[in-house]
Structure 1
Amino acid sequence: MIKFQNEKDVLELVKQDEWMMQVLNAAAMLNPPDWWVCAGFVRTKIWDTLHNFSERTILPDVDVVYFDKTNLDESKEKKLEQQLRHLLPDVPWSVKNEARMHLRNDLPPYTSSVDAIAKFPETATALGLTIDKTGDVMLTAPHGINDVIQLKVKPTPYFIENKGLARVYEERIRKKDWQSIWHKLDVCHIQVTG
């Protein structure tokens, strides 16, 4: 069984995955500002590996986020999705400009894509991959990788500090039902009051 010691181990796992690299390279070809392929794309690979799955768990979507304050028009996101579908038609692309997503989520504005990723509901989901200008794969993990590699599902500090988000977190945990796929997961709950 693979053991993850640090972020370098996660990056090596990704670099050895031909499909993941195709996805990252497709996003890199379009190169929207401050782009990352994030969330389940990264988390699922780690959890599948730690559960010794021989087949990849199918993703409902592949999330690409970017940050562009100069164009908040949702049609730009849809255009990028179309371009990505043209490059890799079998990938369920979902593209979002984090410069506008705070409006949809009724939150204060994000300052960057990484700031938005840091405010995802779970620490195990607050992960992203990009390819830098030199061609290196980069990982962002604003809350570290310990929770995801230890198979812990915990709320991010943002969701803990903002008690109004407890219901959102708990509802998401219920709907995702990750333990039905990855049985070794340890899911932490937030006390919902009111």
Structure 2
Amino acid sequence: MVTEQWMLEQLQADPDMMTVLAIIRDLDLADAWLAAGAVRNFIWNLLSGRSGFDETTDMDLVFYDPAISYEETQQIEQELKKKFPQYAWEVKNQVYMHQHSPGTAPYTSACDAVSKYPEQCTALAVRLRKDGQLELFLPYGTRDIEDFIVQPTPHFLASPERLAVYTERMKKKNWQRKWPQLEVRFPK
């Protein structure tokens, strides 16, 4: 059974994940997390009997800081790609990201943003705190990840426009190619 404790143990045991989490922590960005596919794919890979870390998966660094501009966020991403080219960095300041989700009010924190990602299995994040402890954010628990279920978050279910974005996204992603056991749900 996939529990928070099991996830934390798996993350802690993986040298690449711990390196990425330490890099993120050491940037000292406000409210910074490793999120979305970086964490989801790691768990799905483990549950599929593969090695958890996959260098082709985007390392989704999300943070929330109104003092950092969109351009500065892009600079942070470029610096990470230059300094740590072995990882596929994606850096997003969640202050600006609500604009990519139809009819969404500005987010109030990185966790607020993560909880409003398109799929429940993608709405998760982890960070390495200054005290060396890992902290997980799992607004929808572990069930969808454990059962290989892809379904929209309540935020995406609440709007026909957002649901259309979810549906289009699922048609393009083709995650079943990598994880054939996935069940992608399309609400009516």
TM > 0.5 fold call: yes
Other-structure match for 2:40: 43
- The one-letter amino acid of 1:77's match is T
**3-state SS of 1:133 partner:** coil
Q: CA deviation at 1:78?
A: 1.6
CA distance in 1, matches of 2:165, 2:60: 19
- The one-letter amino acid of 1:164's match is E
- Structure 1 residue 189 corresponds to structure 2 residue 186: yes
Other-structure match for 1:177: 174
Q: CA deviation at 1:136?
A: 0.8
Other-structure match for 1:151: 148
Other-structure match for 1:91: 87
Give me the identity figure in percent: 36
Other-structure match for 1:124: 121
Q: 1:102 to 1:54 in 2, by over 3 A?
A: closer
Q: CA deviation at 1:87?
A: 3.5
Q: Please, which of 9, 14, 22 is the counterpart of residue 12 of structure 1?
A: 9
CA distance in 2, matches of 1:84, 1:53: 27
Would you say the 8 A contact 1:51–1:184 is kept in 2? no
Deviation readout 1:157-188 (Å, 9 max, x if unpaired): 11111222111101111111011110111111
Q: Please, which of 159, 162, 168 is the counterpart of residue 159 of structure 2?
A: 162
CA distance in 2, matches of 1:146, 1:65: 23
Q: CA deviation at 1:100?
A: 1.4
Alignment of 1:96-115 (within 5 A): 96-106=92-102, 107-115=104-112
Q: 1:29 to 1:57 in 2, by over 3 A?
A: closer
Deviation readout 1:138-162 (Å, 9 max, x if unpaired): 1101111111111111110111112
CA distance in 2, matches of 1:67, 1:56: 25
**3-state SS of 2:105 partner:** coil
Q: How large is the RMSD of aligned CA atoms in angstroms? A: 1.5
TM-score (norm: length of structure 2): 0.93
Would you say the 8 A contact 1:40–1:59 is kept in 2? no
Matched pairs, number = 187
User: Any stretches of 5+ residues in structure 2 without a counterpart?
Assistant: none
**3-state SS of 2:170 partner:** helix
Would you say the 8 A contact 1:119–1:159 is kept in 2? yes
CA distance in 2, matches of 1:30, 1:84: 10
CA distance in 2, matches of 1:58, 1:167: 30
